[in-house]
Chain A
Amino acid sequence: MSVRAIVIEAFHQSLKEANQPRPDLPDDAVLLETGLDSLGFAVLVARLEERLGYDPFTLMDEPYYPRTVKEFVQIYEKYDPKKS
């Protein structure tokens, strides 16, 4: 599975647990409006770290706050250590 697919799947799982399931997750959806609160994000990021083996938010030199789903996925793709 690609990094993008893994991130989106985990995102959906977290939304389901927060009782905010959605059929889709468009690229331009604003993160803070998806239905996940800070706790939900903390859990999502922690689970992705377990799954992927890295947490881009701790790897980055300067803090960057993604605003949309697209930016969120891109961070994971950017910091993917397996990237050639």
Chain B
Amino acid sequence: MTLLKIIESYPSEKVLWITDRGRSVRVSDLSTQFSLHAGLFQKCRDRNVAVLFRQAVHLMAALTFLDGVARQIFFVPGSEPRDAVRRLLIESKSEILLTDESPDGLNDWENLHFQIDWEEGRKADAGARQDSSETVWLLATSGTTGFPKLAGHTLESLTRTHQRNIEKGQTFTWGLLYDPARFAGLQVFLQAVLSLSRLVITDDTRPLNERLQTFADHRCNALSATPTLWRKILMCPAAERLNLRQITLGGEIVDRQIIDALVRKFPSARVVHIFASTEAGVGFAVDDQKEGFPAAWLNDPPPGIQIKVDPEGFLLIKPSGVGSLRMKEGDQLRDQEGFINTGDLVRREGDRYQFLGRANGAINVGGNKVFPEEVENVMLGFKGVKFVAVKSKKSPIVGYLVAADVVMEDRSMAKKDFIEGLQSFCRSRLEEYKVPAFINIVEEIHTSQTGKMIR
């Protein structure tokens, strides 16, 4: 099954996507566009194609046409610096770049720009032909440390755990807040296509409140975002207009406070948090509105995956069922049974596993490991803390100390008293070495392209 076949199985007048400018893209529109650009996409047959599109709708159309045609689709992470992009294009062995970034600045639907470039890519050995005709979807991880890595998947492997209930799906309209060239955004896009849910696209250069207004205008009732983004959404006036039935959280550890806040604000919504990794290409969804996930899942996992926790506390995931994921060379992340180490640490607490944080994000205070997320979680429980980002500060004596940037709810409040109160609060709830030695009051905390907080 390719994307195009899936879409063409739907009635032609069905609206799939609604763009920023309010234009509806129907199944019939895609068929028309495909015919217009047939020559272009034929040139991509069996080639390694890189895609880099300014407009999400162009990317989605290109994916629809390339899946099953191209040998490989590489999602260029446009937000990375140019040097990194160039390196990734070569590493991905891309031969063709498809983009709507045309030199004269036109970004029209009809203006899919065609380039053959990257001599290195063409000369390089493109590797052995696959046995199956499935197109490889190659994604760059967001790489919390160091250079992004490439993870290869297929349409089938990416959607293995997705619901395909079209009857139910048609009652949903999703708002897209994520970048569709990244894993999270791609998952929202694919979920919408597979369930025949409408998808409303908004440009990420627009302010969040405006994007939410557009969602409300088109009666979006489903939204997926990181906890950091959700905290911002809850403070947007436009959120009042949203009538949500489905709330999905992902990309960061989900804490009790944000779950409760969302349940309160959107009482008719089903609140689900998703754990997934770009490397694994699959994940699981927790819908009981509690932090972490049930320990029982190690023996009785949700459909499509298997879960393991290794002796050090690392969470391991493996897609279950027929056909393993295409193993890229140098795939040291997998163990002998095919499990992928997600790089996230978990801890058993009663009948649940709680997420501790990225192993490589831990702060080493005199030999004691501190997870920023754990400290942030505690600090968010202090009245008056709007946002918090915990980071490390170098110390010649103990290596590193814990520091925190805090955005206050009420900026008129006396800072000194607030900080002292917050520190006492932390001291009463955390081990000494986890208590932030420095609390800085800041105006805002920055988020990355993927909606995650930048520490």
A73 contacts the other chain (Cβ, under 8 Å)?
no
Residues of chain B contacted by A84 (CB below 8 angstroms) = none
Q: Is A57 an interface residue (CB 8 A)?
A: yes
State which of A27-35, A43-51, A75-83 sits at the interface with chain B. A43-51
**In chain B between 406 and 448, which residues have their CB closer than 8 angstroms to a CB of chain A?**
423, 427, 432-433, 437-438
Q: Which residues of A contact B398 (CB under 8 A)?
A: 38-39, 42
Cβ of A41 and Cβ of B397 under 8 Å apart?
A: yes
B394 nearest CB neighbor, chain A only: A46
A57 — which chain B residues lie within 8 A by C-beta? 396-397
B contact face: mostly helix, strand, loop, or mixed? mixed
Chain A residues, Cβ within 8 Å of B397: 38, 41-42, 45, 57
The CA of A55 and the CA of B103, in the complex, are separated in Å by 53
Instruction: Determine how close the nearest CB of chain A comes to the CB of B392; give it in whole angstroms.
Output: 11
B404 sits at the interface (CB 8 A): no
* Separation of A47 and B440 alpha carbons in the complex (Å): 12
| Shortest distance from the beta carbon of A83 to any chain B beta carbon, whole Å | 22
Q: What is the distance, in angstroms, from A59's C-beta to the closest C-beta of chain B?
A: 11
| Contact residues of B between 55 and 93, Cβ < 8 Å to A | none
Further 6 A-B residue pairs, CB within 8 A, beyond A39-B398, A43-B401, A57-B397: A38-B397, A41-B397, A46-B395, A46-B438, A55-B396, A57-B396
A47:B396 contact, CB within 8 angstroms: no
**Given the complex of chains A and B, what is the CA–CA distance between A46 and B399 in angstroms?**
11
Asked whether A9 is an interface residue with its Cβ less than 8 Å from the other chain, the reply is no
B270 interfacial contact with A, CB 8 Å: no
A17, B439: Cα distance in complex, Å: 14
In the complex, whether A58 has a CB less than 8 A from a CB of chain B is: yes
Name the A residues within 8 Å of B365 (CB-CB): 39
A47 touches B437 (CB 8 A): yes
Greatest chain A CB density within 10 A among B395, B423, B438 is at B395
Number of interface residues of B (CB under 8 A): 14
Is B219 part of the contact surface with A, judged by Cβ < 8 Å?
A: no
Q: A47-B437, A47-B438 given as contacts; is B401 within 8 A of A42 (CB)? A: yes
Q: Are B395 and A45 in contact (CB under 8 A)?
A: yes
B433 engages A39 (CB within 8 Å): yes
- C-alpha gap A55/B401 in the complex (Å): 15
Cα separation A19 to B6 with both chains bound (whole Å)? 66
Task: For the complex, give the distance between the alpha carbons of A16 and B438 in Å.
Answer: 15
Q: Give the interface centre of B397, B401, B427, B433 by most chain A CB atoms within 10 Å.
A: B397
Q: Which 6 A-B pairs have the closest CB atoms?
A: A42-B397, A43-B437, A42-B398, A42-B395, A46-B395, A58-B396
Whether a CB of chain A sits under 8 angstroms from the CB of B303 is no
List, in ascending order, chain B residues with CB within 8 A of A47's CB: 437-438
Distance of B70 from chain A, by nearest CB (Å): 53
Instruction: Let me know if B401 and A46 touch, CB within 8 A.
Output: yes
A-B residue pairs in contact (CB < 8 Å), sample of 21: A17-B423, A17-B427, A38-B366, A39-B366, A39-B398, A39-B432, A39-B433, A41-B397, A42-B366, A42-B397, A42-B398, A42-B437, A43-B401, A45-B396, A46-B401, A46-B438, A47-B437, A47-B438, A50-B438, A55-B396, A57-B396
